[in-house]
Structure 1
């Protein structure tokens, strides 16, 4: 029986150390970590790797259930996948395991609470953006790539699709950068 720990934070400026310490203290031989949203299971490669290697009798351990996921459906699907492998989920805070029927009920309820928290977070974020727009101070997310870099690459002969792919942006971002340059170069009427 292996105890495999999983720790997750949403952004790079958050700290994984508390989770890692708790998982090590719970006897986890292996601890996998990742940075990414818990809103969905998609794109969380470390979690997928863990799930591929879980075997009968193994235990997936997380510090709190919201570190595993904030979607009730995703959490319950993970529990189902573990059940099929005859493995279990253990949550350290509060101490709950899916090895028993009561544990499954508690995990279901905690999953629903995590799902609600995600909705509250999104509602507060939306309200903050709307308030900033009313005050005319909302500028949106900072650009990941400078428009001048996009224009330079296109001017050098790279295709728009290649520029988008190389810089990790959408083609629409490339077209906006080029359109912005054309608008600023147009003569004033």
Structure 2
């Protein structure tokens, strides 16, 4: 059975997620797992896809970076799959489909995973340089601290008996921000 996994980092990338699902369905994936989550955050649907796949199945992704951000992270997943007799297929590696069930596929995957990690690290370096330059020119102020602006509402709602989770959902802020606002009080 082909088991598909699709991921985008944010919900604003809905078109990207739909395109991944379309490609996975087109090659015959019988079961799809999809989510909007950063690759460094806990990925619930990936966990479900990995646990769903059985011996003889193949996990299919459209690109390596949908599965992992580093070669180490990728190979941890590949190792787990191999130990369970599950293959990995990546649809778009330089226009080729790569399958880890053979030595050539594993080699190509390793090379492309290294390039993907390199590309990511270079992007982060350029981003840091751009932010540093903008700060030096006084053009970068960061995002407005929205949670701090809601501290009075947090304290009021807490006084009304609301839980931190309820407060966070109502105000559209994280629970950590709720706790920080309550500590200041």
TM-score normalized by structure 2?
Answer: 0.81
The match for 1:20 is 21
SS at match of 1:56: coil
Q: Give the superposition deviation at 1:166.
A: 4.4
Identify the residue that residue 37 of structure 1 maps to in structure 2. 38
User: Looking at CA atoms only, which structure, 1 or 2, has the larger radius of gyration?
Assistant: 1
Cα distance in 2 for partners of 1:120, 1:92 equals: 24
Structure 2 match to 1:170:
176
Structural mapping, 1:46-65, within 5 Å: 46-65=45-64
- In structure 1, distance between residues paired with 2:74 and 2:52: 18
The CA RMSD measured in Å over matched residues stands at 2.4
Residues 4 and 143 from structure 1, CA distance in 2 versus in 1: closer, same or farther, beyond 3 angstroms?
farther
**Residue 147 of structure 1 pairs with residue 154 of structure 2:** no
Query: Unaligned regions of 5+ residues in structure 2, if any?
Result: 169-173
SS at match of 1:61: strand
Does the alignment pair 1:90 with 2:89?
yes
Q: Distance in 2 between matches of 1:76 and 1:29?
A: 25
SS at match of 1:69: coil
Any conservation in 1 of the 2:154–2:167 contact (CA below 8 Å)?
Answer: no
Q: Tell me the SS of whatever aligns to 1:55.
A: coil
- Cα separation, 1, equivalents of 2:141 and 2:22: 39
Q: Tell me the TM-score normalized by structure 1.
A: 0.80
Tell me how far 1:65 sits from its aligned partner: 1.0
Counterpart of 2:171 in structure 1 is none
5+ residue gaps, structure 1, are: 180-189
Q: Aligned residue pairs: how many?
A: 172
CA distance in 2, matches of 1:32, 1:139: 38
Shift of 1:101: 0.7
1:115 aligned residue (109, 114, 117): 117
Are the structure 2 counterparts of residues 110 and 127 from structure 1 closer, same or farther at C-alpha, using a change threshold of 3 Å?
same
Tell me by how many angstroms 1:59 deviates.
0.4
The answer to whether the Cα contact below 8 Å between 1:69 and 1:114 also exists between their aligned partners in 2 is no
